[in-house]
């Protein structure tokens, strides 16, 4: 399960960024993939809600490159773009492409960490992450994660905590939708 992290510059960059803020990260590198939140949850033996998705969104900037906005989201949640726009005061905001996410953070999707991007990136954190004493975030590679308290994560990422997740349907509402053939296949 464990492999040495030393010598991997992507992981080391994340560890160094935390160290500069006085936090020592304990990175675990798995043989199996932690590319998705579900895979990461299985690897560390945590609930999916305890996995931090680091999702890159972009807001256009006139005459220049779009500004990245990093959403730190509980693995069980999805970002509501309208809410994210309201929270950030951006009118147009969209998901970064995989290529943009790499260009803007220096990391590939599946390994994008919440910190250590080589430039300051505005970050917004899902309050649901605060329901757990410890959460797990990607450490620069799609096989590497580290545990962190939500409070420490917020400080490390200099994140604003704000509601950016889609409302989850209650079980009753889900049952009603399922009973309505017209709504079958509607995205959950
Ligand atoms: N290592 C895990 C858990 S920490 C991780 O990084 N999860 S993640 O959610 O932050 O990153 C994977 C997510 O990237 C996927 O859930 C998916 O929403 C997103 N993604 C995958 N492919 C693309 C793509 N082509 N463009 C934009 N986003 C993508």
- pLDDT tier at 67 (50, 70, 90 boundaries)? very high
Distance between Cα 182 and ligand 1 center (Å): 30
d(CA 74, CA 143): 18
Task: For the chain, give the percent of residues with pLDDT over 70.
Answer: 86
Give the residue, by CA position, lying nearest to ligand 1 atom 23. 98
The distance from CA 6 to its chain's CA centroid, rounded to whole angstroms, is 24
Residues 31-44: pLDDT tens digits?
999 999 999 999 99
Beta strand pairing status for 64-74 and 122-125? parallel
Q: Please report the atom of ligand 1 found closest to the CA of residue 34.
A: 1
Distance between Cα 96 and ligand 1 center (Å): 11
Sign of CA dihedral 71, 157, 39, 98: positive
Strand ranges for the chain from DSSP E = 28-29, 51-61, 64-74, 94-95, 122-125, 135-138, 144-148, 160-161
- Ligand 1 touching residue 148 (CB < 6 A): no
Tell me: pLDDT of 59 over 90: yes
> Can you give the residue ranges of every domain in the chain?
2-177
pLDDT at 6: 60
Considering only residues 187 and 81, tell me which one the structure prediction assigns the higher pLDDT. 81
Mean pLDDT for the stretch of residues 73-86:
98
- Fold classification of 2-177 is YbaK protein (3.90.960)
């Amino acid at each position: 399960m464990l492999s040495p992290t030393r010598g991997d510059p992507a992981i080391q960059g994340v560890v160094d960024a935390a160290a500069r803020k006085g936090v020592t990260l304990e990175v675990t590198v798995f043989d199996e993939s932690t590319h998705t939140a579900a895979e990461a949850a299985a690897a560390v033996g945590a609930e999916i809600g305890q996995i931090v998705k680091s999702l890159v969104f972009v807001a256009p900037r006139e005459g220049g490159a779009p500004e990245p906005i990093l959403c730190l989201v509980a693995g069980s949640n999805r970002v509501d773009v309208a809410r994210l726009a309201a929270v950030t005061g951006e009118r147009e905001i969209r998901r970064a492409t995989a290529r943009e996410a790499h260009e803007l953070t220096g990391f590939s999707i599946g390994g994008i960490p919440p910190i250590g991007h080589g430039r300051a990136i505005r970050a917004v954190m899902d309050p649901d992450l605060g329901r757990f004493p410890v959460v797990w975030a990607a450490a620069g590679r799609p096989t590497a994660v580290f545990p962190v308290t939500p409070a420490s994560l917020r400080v490390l990422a200099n994140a604003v905590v704000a509601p950016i997740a889609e409302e989850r349907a209650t079980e009753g509402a889900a049952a009603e939708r399922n009973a309505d053939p017209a709504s079958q296949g509607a995205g959950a």
